[in-house]
Structure 1
């Protein structure tokens, strides 16, 4: 018999993580996997939750965590994704990078690409690449400067992006819904991502596994409109198959287990 109290406990855990694997939830709650799976099936009957093969997610938008919290949350996954993303950037490429914790981590890897030009609305991204003291050409996009790592947004930023025609636009949504929508909590961020996709020759979407299947408030575009999606190895293959079936063109999976902890440096920006 299912304990309603434990279903509520699981619900609170999923809300806190947005999306969590059943294995991790079982470990956290001190339950065996079969018992946890039974709870998850009952929880998924509620409209605001959805159960996948080995994970369950909370479907209701919620406030974003503070930038400094996000910078450390799922850091290994973001680091692996950033390393893989930078491998597709060639010497001399012009790249447009939006703001956010994943992009700040990505900047560590972009700084290693020779003769790269980076246009960004993020002071943190610009600072990271400048601090690497490489020959990178940095262009900071102006506009209304938002606090908490959201970068410069608004009409000035949108007009600037529209005229860039860069080789790559790199974006990282707050969530990638099960329907393939690239979603943001802040409307101005969704508009900026949409402008990046419209102006750049190719678009790369970075999305760690905690965001897959998790919607937010504003849709920037469909992931099928991007040229490449990079996720980490925590995403179930069936979810990726579903996204490909919806038109997502080119999916690459970053192997989190392959990252050596000795190579990773936590940021404090």
Structure 2
């Protein structure tokens, strides 16, 4: 297959799915890892895709664009799993935690399954589904009400009111984007209000976000960088972002890649 045709296939996949992994393209196209990376580099040079660690994402994201939960679940899966495990290690038995909606926070929930005596507050039906187990008498799961968004979050006045009187030890917060100018952002105005209610309820705010979120700006700001107590991300974060976050966030933890496990 000629390079031009390969690049057309890659671009079609990115436009349809929002992102694509190098490993999936190697299998689909039947070419080497290096060939796929050269094709992605060329598409990036033309401004058609954004290069990210392990693949490519659409370069035409709008600040109000809200990818669906299924689409986001396919992006940076390995990184999100590592981030989830590291973030969950911050939780001690007997804690009360809040978990916002998102595909990375789902990985936090999966990593918390074996932690004893937890109280979990969430506006994410998938998180509640993972952690609710009627046989676990030591675990309480509280699911907020609200209107369901494309990213599978329960948001709005009902969700905010249900969170206003609660107090938790840790909030695990997923975000659409992180930048120095805009802070933590979401493409959904109403979800921003709900996330701020979660922040107010938490003693410690733990943001879980893979490195591709850096530089992405959504429509609404949730919080500024100096409101982050702990950021858990992956080792793909670039040096400039590391320097900025080291200055503003309370603590930054880097989840190990597969190669270092």
What TM-score do the two structures reach when normalised by structure 2? 0.76
- Alignment RMSD: 3.8
Relative to structure 1, the CA distance from residue 36 to residue 69 in structure 2 (aligned partners, 3 Å threshold; closer, same or farther) is closer
What CA distance in whole angstroms lies between the structure 1 residues aligned with 2:213 and 2:187? 12
Alignment of 1:2-13 (within 5 A): none
Match of 1:141 among 139, 144, 148: 144
Any idea what SS the aligned residue of 1:167 has? strand
Distance 1:140 1:210, change over 3 A: same
Alignment of 1:1-269 (within 5 A): 30=35, 58=59, 60-61=61-62, 63-131=65-133, 133-134=135-136, 135-142=138-145, 144-179=146-181, 181-245=183-247, 247-257=248-258
Q: Deviations over 1:201-260 (max 9, x none)?
A: 110001012211111111111122110000012212332112223x11200001121587
Aligned length: 248
Contact 2:97 2:169 in 1 (8 A): yes
Q: Deviations over 1:113-142 (max 9, x none)?
A: 110110111221111012495432111112
Shift in alpha-carbon separation, 1:214–1:9, aligned structure 2, 3 A: farther
Q: 1:126 to 1:73 in 2, by over 3 A?
A: same
**Does the Cα contact within 8 Å between 1:173 and 1:184 map onto a contact in 2?**
yes
In the aligned structure 2, how far is the partner of 1:13 from the partner of 1:241?
33
Asked if the contact 1:18–1:214 (Cα under 8 Å) also holds between the matched residues in 2, the reply is: no
Contact preservation (8 Å) 2:177, 2:214: yes
| Gaps in structure 2 of 5+ consecutive residues | 1-7, 26-31
Give the TM-score taking structure 1 as reference length. Answer: 0.74
Contact 1:59–1:214, Cα closer than 8 Å, also in 2: no
Q: For residues 51 and 72 of structure 2, what CA distance do their matches in structure 1 show?
A: 24
Distance in 1 separating the partners of 2:18 and 2:259: 24
**Is the alpha carbon distance of 1:50 and 1:163 closer, same or farther for their aligned partners in structure 2, counting shifts above 3 Å?**
same
CA contact (8 A) 2:41 2:51 kept: no
Does the 8 A contact of 2:67 with 2:151 survive in 1?
A: no
Q: Report the alpha carbon displacement of residue 31 of structure 1 after superposing the two structures with TM.
A: 7.7
Q: Is the 8 Å Cα contact of residues 180 and 225 (structure 2) preserved in structure 1?
A: no
SS of alignment partner, residue 115 of structure 1: coil
